[in-house]
């Protein structure tokens, strides 16, 4: 429990650092996670509490860095002692780092709390034995406030919904908390609570949950909506307080509530006209929304320039196994519509998805790689992200593979490798785990190359020629910017892949993989 009669308490929320080889590292120092900001903003309304967020992936403003990785928590605790430290467990690959920091604070007598998608039922015991005092199950805005009040007043914890803790060596899990419905009643996310960070792209949301029920995804809730007015209020607040221009609407599927989405886009267009400023938005959207030209029109007019689309695979059998309802040829037709509207397209793929029983098909490794490369080329995707299947905790995919005895033991391939870059299970024949690893390197290596460094220079000097050719400055600028942006990102991607390969060798993953396969077969 907390020290009684203290005038003020401090909650520190920590977003753990990604492993050095994580694919998200290249953008991590430009943004932050939205969930911790929402939770911190709720606590910030409580009397007697100070709140701060330390994002270990974004410590650009004189942040106290540790020698190895992340923040110097010894320094932070001396500078501003925290009474309670919360940990964001939204990404499984950061869990080993989370436990390291939790143990550090626990040894100093600080109360530790963790929450996030990683902490499915199967991982609660793991957390409570790894330096975490309390696990928040589900959304945390209300739960954390009730927990802090109980700790502050030495109250019983059984009445708090959605937490798990140890009592006399036994795990106590309280009753389930119903998902939040009234988002308009929540405080505006306050990004000033993120200390030491320099944020360029601000995450915002209107919808929580997704009804697509993909086997590999942890998001299963029925979609819940806040009003378009509230989302616009969040955006305008960030623009006015942070002089922001770039936003990422983190809704799992933009456009789920069609009429309200269209209304929001029109409101957003009017807002930008009134402040005389053009904003830039990225959204995640289903490919079949290409059939809704009215929606695409208002999206473009409102400043939505980039769409992230989960193509998943160009192989029909794999699409069926993932519960996708499109064929590869239809996807190529639909992506052309997004191009016609001028969207920048970020394509997300899962390579070598494991078939369900009875759906096995024979395809060579080389043919799979060829299909992927051909699809990306035909679709003219601006940027790509090719990942291996990740059997995340709490997903049907993990349950299925675990029942088949195919997942590598955590003692061999730990949580830090659960980011889509590494094979985590025995794949379908004739594919091998080594084949999976090499294949995504081939695909990504073909797309992101060193030669784009020279093309960046060429694109800079090509601007006058492009504008002259199209005889239209606005159209010429748009075409030139796309060329310049893509070449710059593709060169940056080459740097990321090079660092990824270096870490792969440094961590001797090949030896780990061989050992994991030996243990699984033995």
* Residue 182, domain member (yes or no): no
In terms of domains, do 138 and 101 share one?
A: yes
In terms of domains, do 147 and 31 share one?
A: yes
| Cα distance from N-terminal residue to C-terminal residue, the chain | 46
How many CA atoms, within 13 angstroms, populate the side-chain half-sphere of residue 148?
28
Nearest CA among 84, 69, 103, 65 for reference residue 3: 84
- Judge whether residue 293 has pLDDT over 90: yes
Task: Give me the pLDDT at residue 50, please.
Answer: 97
Residue for token pair 């991590």: 28
Residue percentage of the chain with pLDDT more than 90: 68
CATH code assigned at 280: 3.80.30.20
* Residue 436, domain member (yes or no): no
* Residue 38, domain member (yes or no): yes
Domain that holds residue 213: 201-389
In terms of domains, do 281 and 148 share one?
A: no
Task: Give me the pLDDT at residue 132, please.
Answer: 98
pTM confidence score: 0.93
Mean pLDDT of the chain: 90
The torsion of the CA quartet 441, 443, 444, 448, rounded to 10 degrees, works out to 130
Task: Give me the pLDDT at residue 400, please.
Answer: 95
CA distance 422 to 22: 10
CA distance 184 to 457: 47
Across the range 49-65, mean pLDDT stands at 92
pLDDT category, 508, cuts 50, 70, 90? confident
Task: Give me the pLDDT at residue 225, please.
Answer: 93
In terms of domains, do 124 and 263 share one?
A: no
- Judge whether residue 465 has pLDDT over 80: no
In terms of domains, do 137 and 214 share one?
A: no
pLDDT in tens, 163-187: 999 999 999 999 999 999 999 899 9
Across the range 273-300, mean pLDDT stands at 96
Across the range 299-324, mean pLDDT stands at 89
Residue at a domain's end among 374, 389, 404: 389
- Judge whether residue 385 has pLDDT over 80: yes
3-state secondary structure of 163: strand
Across the range 301-312, mean pLDDT stands at 95
In terms of domains, do 348 and 226 share one?
A: yes
pLDDT category, 472, cuts 50, 70, 90? low
- Judge whether residue 8 has pLDDT over 80: yes
pLDDT category, 215, cuts 50, 70, 90? confident
Say how many domains are in the chain.
2
Across the range 106-116, mean pLDDT stands at 97
In terms of domains, do 227 and 93 share one?
A: no
Across the range 488-501, mean pLDDT stands at 76
- For the chain, give the longest Cα–Cα distance: 77
CATH code assigned at 29: 3.40.50.280
How distant, in Å, are the alpha carbons of 103, 122, 150, 432 from that of 95?
A: 12, 14, 27, 27
Peptide bond into 430 cis (omega under 30): yes
Chain centre to alpha carbon of residue 341: 26
- Judge whether residue 316 has pLDDT over 90: no
Residue at a domain's end among 358, 389, 420: 389
Chain centre to alpha carbon of residue 320: 24
* Residue 481, domain member (yes or no): no
In terms of domains, do 141 and 35 share one?
A: yes
In terms of domains, do 88 and 134 share one?
A: yes
- Judge whether residue 24 has pLDDT over 80: no
- Write out the two tokens for 311: 């193509």
Better pLDDT: 422 or 506: 422
Residue at a domain's end among 356, 389, 422: 389
- Judge whether residue 32 has pLDDT over 90: yes
Q: Using an 8 Å Cβ cutoff, are 268 and 283 in contact?
A: no
Q: Give the H or E element holding residue 49.
A: strand 49-55
Better pLDDT: 325 or 519: 519
In terms of domains, do 339 and 275 share one?
A: yes
* Residue 102, domain member (yes or no): yes
* Residue 211, domain member (yes or no): yes
Q: In this structure, what DSSP letter does residue 182 have?
A: -
Task: Give me the pLDDT at residue 450, please.
Answer: 80
In terms of domains, do 207 and 162 share one?
A: no
In terms of domains, do 25 and 120 share one?
A: yes
Residue percentage of the chain with pLDDT more than 70: 94
- Judge whether residue 471 has pLDDT over 70: no
* Residue 209, domain member (yes or no): yes
* Residue 451, domain member (yes or no): no
Instruction: Identify the top-confidence range among 93-97, 321-325, 471-475.
Output: 93-97
């Amino acid at each position: 429990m907390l020290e009684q009669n203290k005038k003020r308490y401090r909650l520190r929320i920590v977003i753990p650092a990604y492993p050095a080889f994580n694919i998200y590292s290249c953008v991590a120092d430009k943004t932050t996670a939205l969930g911790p900001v929402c939770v911190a903003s709720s606590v910030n309304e409580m009397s007697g509490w100070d709140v701060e967020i330390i994002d270990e992936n974004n410590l650009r403003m004189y942040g106290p860095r540790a020698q190895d990785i992340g923040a110097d928590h010894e320094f932070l605790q001396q500078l501003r002692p925290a009474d309670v430290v919360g940990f964001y467990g939204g990404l499984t690959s950061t869990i080993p780092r989370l436990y390291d920091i939790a143990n550090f604070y626990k040894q100093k007598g600080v109360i530790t709390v963790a929450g996030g998608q990683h902490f499915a039922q199967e991982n609660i015991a793991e957390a409570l034995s790894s330096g975490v005092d309390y696990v928040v199950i589900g959304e945390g805005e209300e739960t954390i406030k009730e927990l802090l009040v109980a700790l502050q007043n030495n109250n019983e914890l059984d009445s708090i919904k959605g937490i798990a803790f140890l009592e006399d060596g036994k795990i106590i899990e309280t009753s389930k908390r119903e998902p939040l419905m009234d988002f308009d009643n929540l405080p505006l996310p306050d990004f000033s609570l993120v200390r030491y960070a320099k944020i360029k792209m601000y995450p915002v949301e209107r919808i929580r949950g997704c009804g697509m029920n993909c086997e590999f995804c942890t998001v299963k809730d029925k979609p819940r909506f806040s009003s378009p007015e509230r989302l616009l209020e969040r955006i305008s607040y960030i623009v006015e307080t942070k002089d922001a221009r770039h936003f990422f609407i983190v809704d799992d599927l933009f456009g789920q509530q069609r009429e309200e989405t269209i209304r929001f886009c029109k409101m957003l267009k009017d807002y930008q006209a009134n402040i005389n400023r053009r904003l830039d938005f990225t959204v995640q959207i289903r490919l079949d929304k290409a059939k809704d030209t009215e929606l695409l029109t208002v999206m473009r007019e409102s400043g939505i320039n980039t769409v992230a689309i989960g193509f998943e695979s160009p192989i029909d059998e794999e699409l069926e196994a993932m519960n996708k309802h499109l064929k590869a040829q239809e996807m190529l037709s639909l992506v052309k519509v997004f191009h016609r509207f001028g969207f920048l397209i970020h394509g997300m793929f899962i390579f070598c998805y494991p078939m369900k029983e009875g759906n096995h098909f024979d395809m060579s490794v080389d043919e799979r790689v060829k299909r992927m490369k051909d699809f990306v080329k035909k679709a003219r995707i601006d940027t790509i992200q090719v990942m291996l299947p990740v059997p995340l905790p709490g997903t049907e995919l993990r349950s299925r593979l675990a029942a088949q005895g195919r997942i590598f033991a955590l003692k061999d391939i730990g949580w830090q490798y659960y980011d889509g870059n590494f094979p985590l299970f025995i794949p379908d024949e004739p594919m091998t785990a080594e084949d999976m690893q090499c294949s995504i390197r081939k695909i990504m290596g073909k797309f992101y190359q060193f030669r784009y460094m020279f093309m960046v220079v060429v694109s800079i000097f090509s601007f006058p020629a492009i504008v002259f050719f199209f005889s239209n400055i606005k159209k010429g600028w748009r075409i030139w910017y796309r060329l310049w942006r893509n070449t710059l990102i593709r060169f940056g991607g080459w740097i990321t892949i090079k660092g990824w390969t270096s870490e792969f060798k440094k961590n001797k993953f090949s030896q780990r993989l061989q050992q994991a396969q030996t243990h699984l077969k033995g």
